Amino acid sequence: MSEDRLDRLEARVQALEDELAIVRLVAAYGPLVDAGDADAVAALWAEDGTYDVEGWQMASRDDVRAMVESDGHQGLIAGGCSHFLGPAHVTVRGDEAVAVCESILVRHREGGFSVRRAGANHFHLGREADGWRIKDRRTRALDGSVEARDLLSKGAKGEVW
């Protein structure tokens, strides 16, 4: 009987580990991208993971690395910025998971700081041999668009975009 109880308890511990691993992964994105650590940011994605953010379509880990190394992003961090992501809400289903959070982009310019954007972030993740990776991320500005609102609602219900 104890072995059965252990099996059930182990499954509950595994569920907690999965959820925290994904919360941790999402919590790493902002610090790493604002540090300009291109390899570490890219490693959050699956090899063929995608990142669809307004005006930018990335279709691989290499594309994500190139985004961090781009003049546009390097200019942002040289001036000072924070890709400030809120706490992720995570839904795990076996080897797949969905996470959602809101975010703001704060920029430093001319000695002051200001909010340049608020966004909706939807992550579809997959379990790989050595941990969770982002399969698809979609980010939209919270400017009233139905698409951004759908990302939030679906994400909080654990639905894939």
Residue 17 binds a second copy (CB under 8 A):
yes
| Residue 160 φ/ψ, nearest 5 degrees | -80, 145
* Choice between 59 and 93, CB closer to a second copy: 93
| Euclidean distance between the first and the last CA atom of the chain, given in angstroms as a whole number | 42
Query: In whole angstroms, what is the distance from residue 42 CA to residue 1 CA?
Result: 45
Residue 50 binds a second copy (CB under 8 A):
no
CB of 146 to a second copy, least distance (A): 10
CB of 95 to a second copy, least distance (A): 19
Q: Which residues have CB under 8 Å from 73's CB, separation 6+?
A: 33, 36, 67
Q: 111 by DSSP, 3-state: which?
A: coil
How far is C-alpha 76 from the chain's CA centre? 19
Binding track over 69-108 against a second copy, x by CB under 8 A: --------xxxxxxxxxxxxxx---------xxx-x-x-x
Binding site for a second copy (CB under 8 A): 2-3, 5-6, 9-10, 12-13, 16-17, 19-20, 23-24, 26-28, 30-32, 34-37, 40, 77-90, 100-102, 104, 106, 108, 113-120, 141-145, 148-150, 152-153, 155-157
